[in-house]
C-alpha cells in the first residue's frame, strides 16, 4: 500500500497527481475463502480489516452487491456519540469512540473525525428527566456527559431560539461526540483491508446460502458460488431481513427509509452537533459549509432509498423554529437510506440458526458511530466462532429470553 503523507503528496504533485496507485485491487472471486463478509459498507469492511489485522485468519473476501459505501455508510449524517443509557451499550459505543480517536492514523487515511461536541436538547420536563437519567448513567459508565442550562446552550449556539414553540429547557452535552467523513471511513477500511490481502469484490450480490446438515458451506452470488471454510459474517444493514429469509429464518427487524438533507454551503456558523429528539430534528455543519440535517424515519416499511415528501416538512419546520437564522438558506440535496430497526433499538451481533453463519445488523438509524467498534468486536466474534464479550448482550437470544437492551430514548431518531 502506498503510504499517504506530506512527502507522497509533494512527490505526486510534481506529476500532476497522475501516478497515484489504485487504492484497492479489483479481484475476481476465488472458489472459496476462509471467511466471507457479505456487505461492503463501513461495518463489513471494518470487520474484514480487523479479522485480517488482529486475528490473521487466512483468506477473507468482502462481497458487495453495489459499490463500497453506497448503502447507509455513504448516506448517513455521520453523528458520532456514545451517550446511550445502558451498560451493555456503553461498552459497545464507547469502544467505538476510543477507536475513532486514532482511526485516521490506524488506516493512514484521513477520516476527518471531528469531536466537536454534541448537544441533545430537552424541550419538555420529561425530556429533562430522560437526559438527567441518561447523563447519570453515562457518568457512572465513564462516558462523558454534562448537563447544560438554557443559557449554557446559548453559549454553544448563540442564534438558537430558546423561547419559541419548542422551548429549550436544557441539554446534555457529550464533548467527545462529533462527526467524521462518511465515505472516507469506507474507503479507509477498504484500502487498509486490501493491503492486508482481503479480496474486495464489488458488483457481486449474494443470492442464497448453501448449507449441509444445518451448517453453512458457501454463498451463491451473481458472480458464481463462493465456498466458505470457516464462517460468513452478513452485514447488510437494511437488507438484513432479505438475507435472513435466504438462509431460512426471520429476524425481528423492520425496514424503514431514513432521510437526510443538506443545504447550500455557508460560512462557518455552527461548530457543534445539535439534536432534538422530541421534535425529531438535528443539525450540524460539514467542513464544506453545508448544513447537514435529518429527523425521524419515514413511518412505513420500504426498501426505496428516496423517502416521502411530507417528512421533509417534519424536519425543516422544527429546524426553522429553533434556528430562525437558517430560514432563508436553500436546500441543496435530499436522499434516504434503508434503516434496519429492532424492537429495542439495539443492534444484533449474533450467531444464527445456521452454523457458521453470523449476522451483524439492526443498527437502524444509529450505526455509523459504531463502525470501528462493530467491526472490531464482530471480527473477534467470527474468529472465535462465538460472541465476543462486547457482542454477547446483542445476540438474537435476547428476543427469546426477554433480556432486551432498550435504547428507544437514546436512539433518538428511530420511531
Name the residue among 109, 181, 92 with its Cα closest to residue 376. Answer: 92
Phi, psi dihedral angles at 183 (to 5 degrees) = -75, -20
Q: Which of 145, 171, 226, 260 binds ligand FAD (CB under 6 A)?
A: 260
The smaller minimum CB distance to ligand PYC, of residues 199 and 254, is found at: 254
Phi, psi dihedral angles at 53 (to 5 degrees) = -75, -45
Using CB under 6 A as the binding rule, whether residue 277 contacts ligand PYC is answered as no
38 makes contact, choosing from ligand FAD, ligand PYC, none, with CB < 5 to 8 Å by partner type, with: ligand FAD
Q: Which of 48, 63, 160, 396 binds ligand FAD (CB under 6 A)?
A: 63
Using CB under 6 A as the binding rule, whether residue 318 contacts ligand PYC is answered as no
Using CB under 6 A as the binding rule, whether residue 282 contacts ligand PYC is answered as yes
The 281-285 sheet, strands edge to edge: 146-148, 170-174, 118-122, 273-276, 281-285, 290-297, 254-265, 331-341
Q: Which of 276, 346, 365, 395 binds ligand FAD (CB under 6 A)?
A: 365
What is the nearest approach in angstroms of ligand PYC to the Cβ of residue 219?
30
Give CA separation, 30 vs 82, 223, 236, in Å. Answer: 39, 10, 21
What is the nearest approach in angstroms of ligand PYC to the Cβ of residue 339?
9
What is the nearest approach in angstroms of ligand PYC to the Cβ of residue 59?
34
Q: Which three cell numbers stand for residue 74?
A: 455513504
Q: Which of 29, 65, 171, 346 binds ligand FAD (CB under 6 A)?
A: 65
DSSP string over 213-230: TTEEEEEEETTEEEEEEE
Site for ligand PYC in 49-88 (CB under 6 A): 77, 79, 81
Using CB under 6 A as the binding rule, whether residue 42 contacts ligand FAD is answered as yes
82 makes contact, choosing from ligand FAD, ligand PYC, none, with CB < 5 to 8 Å by partner type, with: none
Other CB atoms within a 10 A radius of the CB of residue 170 amount to 20
Phi-psi group of 307: left, alpha or beta (phi > 0 → left; psi -120 to 50 → alpha; rest → beta): left
d(CA 91, CA 239): 26
Residues whose CB is less than 8 angstroms from the CB of residue 404 and which lie 6 or more positions away in sequence, other chains included = 343, 344, 346, 398
Name the residue among 387, 375, 284, 302 with its Cα closest to residue 76. Answer: 284
236 makes contact, choosing from ligand FAD, ligand PYC, none, with CB < 5 to 8 Å by partner type, with: ligand FAD
Site for ligand FAD in 105-144 (CB under 6 A): none
Site for ligand PYC in 292-311 (CB under 6 A): 294
Name the residue among 163, 137, 138 with its Cα closest to residue 150. Answer: 163
Q: Which of 120, 239, 280, 398 binds ligand FAD (CB under 6 A)?
A: 239
What is the nearest approach in angstroms of ligand PYC to the Cβ of residue 174?
10
Chain contacts with ligand FAD (rule: CB under 6 A):
38-44, 63-66, 70-73, 75-79, 205-206, 235-237, 239, 243, 258-260, 294, 337, 339, 363, 365-369
Chain contacts with ligand PYC (rule: CB under 6 A):
77, 79, 81, 282, 294, 365-366, 412-413
Amino acid at each position: 500500500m502506498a503510504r499517504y503523507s506530506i512527502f507522497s503528496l509533494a512527490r505526486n504533485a510534481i506529476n500532476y497527481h497522475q501516478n497515484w496507485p489504485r487504492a484497492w485491487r479489483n479481484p475476481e472471486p476465488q472458489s472459496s475463502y476462509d471467511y466471507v463478509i457479505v456487505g461492503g459498507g463501513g461495518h463489513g469492511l471494518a470487520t474484514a480489516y480487523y479479522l485480517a489485522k488482529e486475528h490473521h485468519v487466512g483468506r477473507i473476501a468482502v462481497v458487495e452487491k453495489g459499490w463500497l459505501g453506497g448503502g447507509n455508510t455513504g448516506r448517513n449524517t455521520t453523528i458520532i456519540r456514545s451517550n446511550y443509557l445502558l451498560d451493555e451499550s456503553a461498552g459497545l459505543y464507547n469502544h467505538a469512540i476510543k477507536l475513532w480517536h486514532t482511526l485516521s492514523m490506524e488506516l493512514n487515511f484521513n477520516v476527518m473525525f471531528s469531536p466537536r461536541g454534541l448537544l441533545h436538547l430537552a424541550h419538555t420536563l420529561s425530556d429533562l428527566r430522560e437526559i438527567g437519567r441518561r447523563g447519570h448513567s453515562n457518568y457512572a459508565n465513564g462516558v462523558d456527559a454534562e448537563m447544560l442550562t438554557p443559557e449554557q446552550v446559548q453559549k454553544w449556539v448563540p442564534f438558537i431560539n430558546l423561547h419559541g414553540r419548542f422551548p429549550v429547557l436544557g441539554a446534555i452535552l457529550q464533548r467527545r461526540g462529533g462527526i467524521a467523513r462518511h465515505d472516507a471511513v469506507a474507503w479507509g477500511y477498504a484500502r487498509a483491508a486490501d493491503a492486508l490481502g482481503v479480496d474486495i469484490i464489488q458488483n457481486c450480490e449474494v443470492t442464497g446460502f448453501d448449507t449441509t446438515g444445518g451448517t453453512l458451506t458457501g454463498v451463491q452470488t451473481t458472480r458464481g458460488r463462493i465456498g466458505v471454510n470457516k464462517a460468513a459474517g452478513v452485514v447488510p444493514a437494511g437488507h438484513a431481513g432479505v438475507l435472513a429469509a435466504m438462509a431460512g429464518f426471520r429476524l425481528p427487524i423492520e425496514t424503514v427509509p431514513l432521510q437526510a438533507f443538506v443545504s447550500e454551503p455557508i460560512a462557518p456558523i455552527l461548530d457543534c452537533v445539535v439534536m432534538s429528539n422530541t421534535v425529531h430534528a438535528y443539525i450540524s455543519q460539514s467542513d464544506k459549509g453545508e448544513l447537514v440535517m435529518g429527523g425521524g424515519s419515514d413511518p412505513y416499511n420500504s426498501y426505496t432509498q428516496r423517502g416521502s415528501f411530507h417528512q421533509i416538512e417534519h424536519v425543516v419546520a422544527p429546524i426553522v423554529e429553533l434556528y430562525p437564522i437558517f430560514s432563508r438558506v436553500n436546500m441543496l440535496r435530499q436522499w434516504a437510506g434503508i434503516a434496519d430497526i429492532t424492537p429495542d433499538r439495539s443492534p444484533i451481533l449474533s450467531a444464527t440458526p445456521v452454523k457458521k453463519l453470523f449476522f451483524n445488523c439492526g443498527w437502524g438509524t444509529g450505526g455509523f458511530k459504531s463502525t470501528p467498534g462493530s467491526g472490531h468486536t464482530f471480527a473477534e466474534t467470527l474468529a472465535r466462532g462465538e460472541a465476543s464479550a462486547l457482542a454477547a448482550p446483542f445476540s438474537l437470544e435476547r428476543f427469546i429470553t426477554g433480556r432486551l437492551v432498550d435504547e428507544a430514548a437514546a436512539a433518538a431518531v428511530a420511531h
